[in-house]
Amino acid sequence: MPNAQPSVLSWGHRYVMVRPDHFRIDYAINPYMDLAVQPDAHRAMAQWVDLVRTIERLGGEVEVVPQREDAPDMVYAMNLGLGVLRPDGTGLVSGHVVMSHMRFAERRMESQTAGPWFERSGRTTSYVGRDGVGAHLEAGDVFAWGDALVAGYGPRTEELALKHLATDLGVRVRGVRITHPAMYHLDLAFCPLDDRHAMVAPGAFDAPSARALLDLVPEPLVLTDQEALTTFCANSIVIDRTVVMPAGGPSRVIEELGAWGFEVVEVDLSEFHKGGGSIRCLTNPVDVTLGRDVPLVAGGEVLVPPLG
């Protein structure tokens, strides 16, 4: 039904963000990070405030977590954990966060602050692994899409974490294997737009996973590696029919989004590109609702494409 009116994403109206009081490049755990190229603290704060104001102007809400002094990457709040809402069937909705268990020790202390913060905010928390023991999970690898959570694994999240996630939440998890070192999180290569459209950079994945992901998207906006890597355009967020995109997005992509009825608002996050992240990485949506945005599946289920 190519002419069916797509419904907007029902999630993406509430975000957790970390105020960049201590954003630096102290180590290099992805190909973008270079200790010789440090962010300008004032410019970074101004860009971050601009992003918060843009989200609020579009009707979104932002909850702010203070940044640990010793955790310069904590600004990339998407990776703190996977937030969901669980309706209990009687009209009550509770928040839950499956905490990330970062691949690199340099980021693991973030959970020690974020876990208690989520608890104080009224949410429950669970862990797939902690302090280096157990499966690694980084929430920037996980999106609600279609009949499942789609989870990228490889550079950061481990395949075993998908099993934990599916069992813990009682949902289907569809794994896709990431092989590109510079698209090390799913959110650098995949961006849900509405219930039919998503941006996809197939070059991030091995061939069976690229095919599997494209098969899940009725109308994909296929990005070249060049588009995804140099502009971070897949690292956009979507609030109803507005795409908030890192400034300098490819005009071809912006035009295509316009043709599908999206307004594109550009925000300059160039200081944060120095750490290897942009808009999606800085914002963690906590209103994905189980049973609405992701169907419940008794016992959970993991589906992964064959090895490429």
CB of 145 to ligand ARG, least distance (A): 16
CB of 182 to ligand ARG, least distance (A): 11
Residue 128: is it exposed, middle or buried by C-beta count within 10 angstroms (0-12/13-18/19+)? buried
Q: Which of 20, 115, 129, 276 binds ligand ARG (CB under 6 A)?
A: 276
Q: Which of 18, 29, 161, 233 binds ligand ARG (CB under 6 A)?
A: 29
| Active site amino acids | 185, 281
Q: Is 73 in the site for ligand ARG (CB under 6 A)?
A: yes
Q: Is 20 in the site for ligand ARG (CB under 6 A)?
A: no
CB of 60 to ligand ARG, least distance (A): 18
Residues of this chain, 115-134, that bind ligand ARG according to CB under 6 A: none
Structure tokens at 118: 């989520």
Q: Which is nearer to ligand ARG, 107 or 123 (CB)?
A: 107
Whole-angstrom Cα distance, residue 301 to residue 174?
8
Q: Is 54 in the site for ligand ARG (CB under 6 A)?
A: no
* Piece in contact with ligand ARG (CB under 6 A), picked from 90-98, 246-254, 274-282, 289-297: 274-282
Whole-angstrom Cα distance, residue 210 to residue 218?
14
Q: Is 236 in the site for ligand ARG (CB under 6 A)?
A: no
CB of 186 to ligand ARG, least distance (A): 8
Q: Which of 129, 192, 277, 305 binds ligand ARG (CB under 6 A)?
A: 277
Q: Is 188 in the site for ligand ARG (CB under 6 A)?
A: yes
Q: Which of 158, 187, 227, 287 binds ligand ARG (CB under 6 A)?
A: 187
Q: Which is nearer to ligand ARG, 202 or 277 (CB)?
A: 277
Q: Is 30 in the site for ligand ARG (CB under 6 A)?
A: yes
* Piece in contact with ligand ARG (CB under 6 A), picked from 108-116, 163-171, 180-188, 254-262: 180-188
Q: Which is nearer to ligand ARG, 80 or 257 (CB)?
A: 80
Give the interface with ligand ARG as residue ranges (CB under 6 A). Answer: 29-30, 33, 73, 76, 78-79, 107, 140, 185, 187-188, 275-277, 281
